[in-house]
Structures are given as C-alpha cells and as structure tokens.
Amino acid sequence: MAKLEKCKAFEGVKGPLLTIVMDGVGIAPANAANAVAAAHTPTLDALMANYPTLKIRAHGTAVGLPSDDDMGNSEVGHNALGSGQVFAQGAKLVSQSIETGKIFASDAWGALIGGVKANASTLHFLGLFSDGNVHSHIDHLKALIEGAKREGVGRVRVHILLDGRDVGETSALDYILPFEDYLASLRSDAFDIAIASGGGRMQITMDRYEANWGMVEKGWKTHVLGEGRAFASAAEAVETYRKELKVIDQDLPPFVIEKDGGPVGTVEDGDSVIFFNFRGDRSIEISKAFEGGADFAMFDRKRVPSVLYAGMLEYDGDLHIPSRFLVNPPEITNTMSEYLVDSGVNSLAISETQKYGHVTYFWNGNKSGKFSETLETYIEIPSDVVPFEQRPWMKCAEITDKLIEALESGEYKYLRVNFPNGDMVGHTGSFLATECSMEALDLQLARILKVVDKLEGVALITADHGNADEMYELDKKSGEPKKNKDGSPKAKTSHTLNPVPFIIYDNYYKDSYKVKLGREDFGLSAVAATTVNLLGYEAPAIWDESMVELK
C-alpha cells in the first residue's frame, strides 16, 4: 500500500483540486516569435499578474533527458508530473545501453540478427530520421547499423520518416545527404545497405492514440509492400515534393526508392524489422500492424510477411507492445495516482484523443490501465481528424463542458485535464493559427475558474513543455526571427527549451501555506508533492520537493 499521511498543519482544500496542463505553453520574451504573448489572453495574463507564479523547468535533465540541450516533450513531461520524480528517459536509456553494449547483448537483438543470418534475409530499420532526440536519434540508428555489420549481417534497408517538427521544418536534406555518404563508407561486397522508403512523419506511419489509422496504412504500403511513387533516391523525392507541393518535411508524401524497375527494400518472409524510435506514443500502432495476427482489422495489410519485429523500447508496458524490444523502459513506480488511490481519493483525468494518453498512460508511469476502477475515471473527447491549423480551437470547449460537469458533480476530489492546443497547433508552424488556439484556450480557462471558485476549489495551471512560445527560429545573436529566401520568418515547429508556468489559483486557502516564489530550480516533478500538500497530505519522501510550505 502507498497510503499518504494526512498533514497536521493543513487539512486540505474543501472543494476540488484541479490541475490544468496547457500543453506546449512555455514562458518566453514577448518577441515576434511568441504566439502566446501575441494572443489576446486576458485570463492567463490576470493569472500570472495576480496569483503566485513560478517558472519551472520542463526540459533536459529536469525530466530525465541526457542534457539540458534536449527539448522536453509531452511523454517525459507527463511522466514527471504524475510521478513526482525524475527517471532516466528513452533517449538516455538507449544511449547508455549502446555505450555499455547491453543493447547488443539483449535477447531481442540476438534473435533478430540470428534470424537474418540464418535466412540470408534483410534487416530493416524504420523510424524518425533526425537528431531531435524526442522520438529518436540518428546516432542510435547509426550505432545499430554498425552493430549489424559487425555481426555479419549482409543486407540492410533503412526506412526514413522525415521530421521537420522536432528539428528545422525543412532540414531533411541536412540529414539525408550526409547519411548517404555515411552508408557509402560502410557499403561493401559483403554489406549491402540502402535507404528503401520514407515520407513525412505526419503523413505516414507515426499516428498515435488511434486518431488516424490511415497514416499507418500508408506507411505499411510504403515500407512493407513497396507501393507508392518511385524515386531514384530519398534526396530526389524530397526535392521533387518540395517543388511540387511547397510543404514542410513533416507533411511530405510517402516515397519508395526503386532500382532496376522495382523497389529496393520491401519487407519479406524471414526478414527482421527494428522500429528504432524510443518514444512510445507514435510507435504503438505500427507495432500492432507488424505483430497483429489474423484478427487485425484496422486496415487491409494485403500481405503480412512473417518477420521478427522489435521496438527500441517496450512502448506499452501493460499490453506488452511490442513483444520484443532492445532496451528495457524505465520502471516508474510510486506515482501520484497510486498514492491517491491507496488513500481513497476519487480522481478524474480528461483530454481529447491527441493528449488523452498523456493524462492517463504517461501520467501513471507508462501504464495503460487504471489503478482502481472505482476511484479513477477517464474521459476521452474524440479529436477531429483535420489539420490542426484549420481548427486551432480543437476540442477545448467540449473538454471544458465535460470538465465542468465533472467538477459540479462533486464526485471528484482531484481532477486533471490537458488542453492540447498550444502543442498540436504550434507544431503546424502557423503563427496565426497558434495565436488563435491560445485565445480559444483562454476562453475556457475563464469558464473553468468561475466553477472552481463556486466550489471553493483550487486550480494549478501549468504546462508540460514549451512550443507556442517560440514559433519562429531565432537568431542567437540578435534574437530576431531567421528569414526564408522570400523574406518571411522561418517557422519553428519543434518544442522549446523555455520554462513553463506554474500558477496557483486559490482564493480561499492561501493563508495556510507559503509559495516558494523566486526559485527557478523546480522542475515538473515538483508538481506532485505540491498537489498532495494542497489536498492535505504529506508528500512521500522519495518525491521531489514541493513548491509550497505548509504553515
């Protein structure tokens, strides 16, 4: 049992305690790149002006990533928010496993390599092709390729998902061209290696939360079946699509590399496939497609080769997806949800499809199930399957409708909600749409806070990482947006390194505690201890320090 001890100094808020995650909303200077600052947000402005507000860290080592040059992301951010602790996360785990050689000693690696050598077949690598270090890293891919060559594998094919989201929006050739030179340096009569297919990450393969299985179907046809528009090289594909469609990398259509009249790298019986992304949310569906049996019904796979498949990590620890993986994921224990359940606290988690898994699966330490069917309620609002810049308000009003209903029901002592607007719209690179998304969110904050006051509750308003706060690539010296050839600002579609706000909206109990204002060393993991303190409980000693001191 992980039961919390009651505080002697403070009995806790009488009404509900609500955590609001404004996904992708960081704190940055109010410059020409900041869509949060540009938006008309009277509610958020009033909150930060009139209520205790701290800047907390949401990237790098504060959330378990290798260095403070690494952007935070929604996965690790919600892990930290929900667990109250910092665990070594995907990128760091993989890098450590490569450095120590453990990855090459794993059972999964041995099985896949052994299968390819026994069958004289092909080893395929599939994943996000950049050094963004949010879902994958190209250095991990290179290490695996070199490991395969050392093991005596004779034929390797690489299927690249172009980024333009966690890295520069039109940076694909900056990765493809040096990588082709790298492959040429490895290639020999005994080692046949080539890029076989690809496409933009928001067009094929990397769907999440089953929002658009059509993306995965397009990926299957491209990578496995070799169906699609053919090009002589990946560089030719990128250059051609850019001229024809004027789209950024994440939106590039699928392509297949052909030679001598046919695709160079379809997936066949006896092959092995490694999905080299370490982050789970956009890796689960393609893993299901490869490992799904005869009852798989999400789309017609046409041909299902008999292969050995592995992920870089286990992407879902409860459902054990995939069945093979190269690196063990972090074992996240003693989460806030576990403690609240064992203490008899009724809770609610709500978001729309795009971030539903973040307030449930990631919040609970990469566990897809509930800790208690009676004490926990999850609500998913189906997301629209449209480009986010076309409906930047997303489902924030519908989420708020359900949230207010839950607050007023009196059933829940603790509630958490994620509004995806700042992140999902921010990733499109559209400044105007992101500005609109923030204004839509601000309207919902005003609605929610009125209800919190009516119920004598408290709201904690924060974010999981930055994004909407820096919509253009900035020149480090001048601080001004970089320019495209046509003079327009160069869009930035990735997360930022900026801190995020932590605001305590409390009109009833603020005399019972002191907020540790002025400190900038807190990270997202400090939110859990703060939360249970305001609920009237002592925080577990294993958690990171609370941002309030009870009087």
Residues 6+ apart with CB under 8 A from 165: 132, 201, 202, 249, 250, 427, 493, 494
Whether residue 74 lies in the annotated active site = yes
Neighbours of 78 (CB within 10 A): 29
192-227 exposure pattern, b = at least 16 Cβ within 10 A, e = fewer: ebbbbbbbbbbbbbbbbbebbeebbbbbbbbbbbbb
Structure tokens at 51: 């209520």
What are the helix (H) ranges across 265-395?
284-291, 336-342, 353-357
Q: Which residues pair with 489 in a beta bridge?
A: 483
The catalytically annotated residue of 74, 197, 287, 383 is: 74
Give the H or E element holding residue 197: strand 192-200
Radius of gyration of the chain (CA): 24
Contact 55/501 with Cβ under 8 angstroms? Answer: yes
Determine how β-strand 414-419 pairs with β-strand 347-352.
parallel
CA distance 537 to 548: 12
Residues 6+ apart with CB under 8 A from 157: 122, 123, 124, 125, 193, 194, 195, 196, 264, 265
Kindly list the catalytic residues: 74
